[in-house]
Amino acid sequence: MTDASSAAPADDTGNARPYSVSELSFALKRTLEDAYGFVRLRGEISKTTFHANGHCYLTLKDERAAIDGVVWKGQVRGLGVRPEQGLEVIVTGKITAYPAGSRYQIVIETMEAAGIGALLAQLERLKAKLAAEGLFEPGRKHALPSMPRVVGVITSPTGAVIRDILHRIRDRWPCRVIVWPVVVQGEAAAAQVAQAIRGFNAMRADGPVPRPDVLIVARGGGSVEDLWAFNDEALARAVVEGAIPLISAVGHETDTTLIDFVSDRRAPTPTAAAEMATPVLAELKAFTADLAARMHRCGGRAVEDRRGRVAAANRGLQRVPDLVRLAEQRFDIISGRLGAALAKNAAVHERDLVRVASRLSPLLLQRPQAVQRHRLEGVAARLAPGAARGLERTSERLAALAKLYAAVDPDRPLRRGFARVQRLDGSLVRAGASLAAGEEVSIRFGDAVTRQAVIDAKAAPAAAKAPAQKRNPSPSAQGDLF
């Protein structure tokens, strides 16, 4: 007989009522979620897909079965490891069904690597990826400063590591140390260390807090799980992007993390990192003193060498008295010969003069002078009549010009009683009608006296002007002004 609780409800005909597809799918979904609300599952990841909306879809498998899984975007950031194909993990979550596809899946809430071997395999794959990008190349790394003024330390502020670093730097090279506190273990460690590296690189050299010349990322030793935060890909890329030289001092000498490969220098211990970052002040002082002593000795040897060369050159030179005595002897010999040479030279010139003097006579100079005088007398006799005629004609022209000048002299009529009227600007007044009443004029008389006058506004009557015109003689009786 069939169990009544598991049988489908009957319809009006007495047969079992059929389920709809949706009813059956959602009934199975509720059954799975109720029975497997929390499971812990171990398997190998395959077919990993990160969707654009932030969700992660994957498949977990073993040697005989496989199950689909999904990590919602709110849980992706909190995963202990990044899902990668081939990684063996242990996940926790709940089993649910996907009604639209008639398949079940696990909704993953946490994920961790299944053992050390899986973590190391994941690390090797990440190292190979970054090495292929050239992030481990020595040519990309920066040189450490020889004498840093500011050292930046990224570590936990409460551990023994920071005390060892500060003590070592204080003994070797007193300088300013800036500590950026971070956690060095756990899920938040990688993000905080990366943020500290970017923060130091973003500082300005002239800012209120000076920019470090070198950085130290330090942590004490521990297990692979304890140091796993320093194998983070984002942290490695933050180290590569930084411009400040960085020393990695994570763990002990045998511990190796991903940050050791991308950093500019790797130190076996935090104390060794402090020694790499700073010189020894006492050694620098001793080195400087040794250089000063060597320079002093080299200078002394150079001076002694030049002194020896000067002495050797001095021995090869003649003495000053010997040089002067030789020149003095030559001077005495030449000065003794000078008197006789001058007398001999004078005698030679005297003989030459006597030989030429017999041929010299005043007639040699007087004969050319007589010839030139005769020529000048002939030329003068020919030029005298023409010059007289030209002078006479010039005198006549000059006399005619003098008469013409006297005739056109503007002051000549003034001496016969006339006057010349001029405006103040110097222009002549040629007609009385052109003068305005009240206008100032100047009147010049024959005795060279000039008077000022103002034109009266009243005009003389026409009847009085007519008789005056009749009394005036004719122009021919008045005479010519010129």
DSSP sequence for 157-225? TTSHHHHHHHHHHHHH---EEEEEE---SSTTHHHHHHHHHHHHHH--TTSSSPPPSEEEEEE----TT
What pLDDT, on a 0 to 100 scale, did the predictor assign at position 474? 44
User: Mean pLDDT lowest for which of 119-123, 126-130, 311-315, 376-380?
Assistant: 119-123
Q: How would you class 201 by CB atoms within 10 Å of its CB: exposed for 0-12, middle for 13-18, buried for 19 or more?
A: middle
pLDDT of residue 6 exceeding 70, the answer is no
- The H or E element that residue 289 is part of is helix 281-316
Please write the tens of the pLDDT for every residue from 270-298.
Answer: 999 999 999 988 888 888 889 999 999 99
Question: What percentage of residues in the chain have a pLDDT greater than 70?
Answer: 90
Q: For residues 132-161, b (16+ Cβ closer than 10 Å) or e, as one string?
A: eeebbeeeebeebbeebebbbbbbbeeeeb
Q: Which residue has the tokens 């050694």?
A: 283
User: Mean pLDDT lowest for which of 309-313, 315-319, 343-347, 377-381?
Assistant: 315-319
pLDDT of residue 365 exceeding 90, the answer is no
| Mean pLDDT, rounded, of the chain | 83
- Strand spans (E) along 362-439: 420-423
Residue 463's pLDDT band (boundaries 50, 70, 90)? very low
3-state SS, residue 434: helix
Between 135 and 370, name the one with better pLDDT.
135
Q: Give the pair of three-digit tokens for residue 201.
A: 């690189």
Let me know how long the chain is.
482
Q: What is the mean pLDDT of residues 311-319?
A: 79
What pLDDT, on a 0 to 100 scale, did the predictor assign at position 265? 94
Half-sphere exposure of 233 (CA within 13 A, CB side): 13
What pLDDT, on a 0 to 100 scale, did the predictor assign at position 118? 64
What pLDDT, on a 0 to 100 scale, did the predictor assign at position 465? 44
- The H or E element that residue 344 is part of is helix 320-357
User: Mean pLDDT lowest for which of 2-11, 174-183, 295-304, 360-369?
Assistant: 2-11
Hey, which of 161-175, 363-377, 380-394 has the most confident mean pLDDT? 161-175
Please write the tens of the pLDDT for every residue from 138-180.
Answer: 999 999 999 999 999 999 998 889 999 999 999 898 899 999 9
pLDDT of residue 254 exceeding 80, the answer is no
Q: What is the mean pLDDT of residues 6-22?
A: 65
Please write the tens of the pLDDT for every residue from 52-63.
Answer: 888 999 999 887
- The H or E element that residue 258 is part of is helix 258-262
What pLDDT, on a 0 to 100 scale, did the predictor assign at position 256? 85
User: What are the φ/ψ torsions at residue 106 (nearest 5 degrees)?
Assistant: -110, 130
User: Mean pLDDT lowest for which of 108-122, 212-226, 292-306, 424-438?
Assistant: 108-122
CA-CA distances (angstroms) from residue 163 to 124, 153, 169, 250?
Answer: 33, 11, 10, 15
Rounded to an integer, what distance in angstroms lies between the CA atom of residue 41 and that of residue 106? 9
pLDDT of residue 341 exceeding 50, the answer is yes
pLDDT of residue 480 exceeding 70, the answer is no
pLDDT of residue 250 exceeding 70, the answer is yes
Please write the tens of the pLDDT for every residue from 186-198.
Answer: 888 999 999 999 9
What pLDDT, on a 0 to 100 scale, did the predictor assign at position 26? 84
What pLDDT, on a 0 to 100 scale, did the predictor assign at position 4? 38
pLDDT of residue 482 exceeding 50, the answer is no
What pLDDT, on a 0 to 100 scale, did the predictor assign at position 70? 92
Q: What is the phi-psi region of residue 439: left when phi exceeds 0, alpha when psi lies from -120 to 50, beta otherwise?
A: beta
pLDDT of residue 340 exceeding 70, the answer is yes
pLDDT of residue 41 exceeding 50, the answer is yes
Residue 1's pLDDT band (boundaries 50, 70, 90)? very low
Q: How would you class 80 by CB atoms within 10 Å of its CB: exposed for 0-12, middle for 13-18, buried for 19 or more?
A: middle
- A 10 A CB-CB count for 76 gives 16
pLDDT of residue 475 exceeding 90, the answer is no
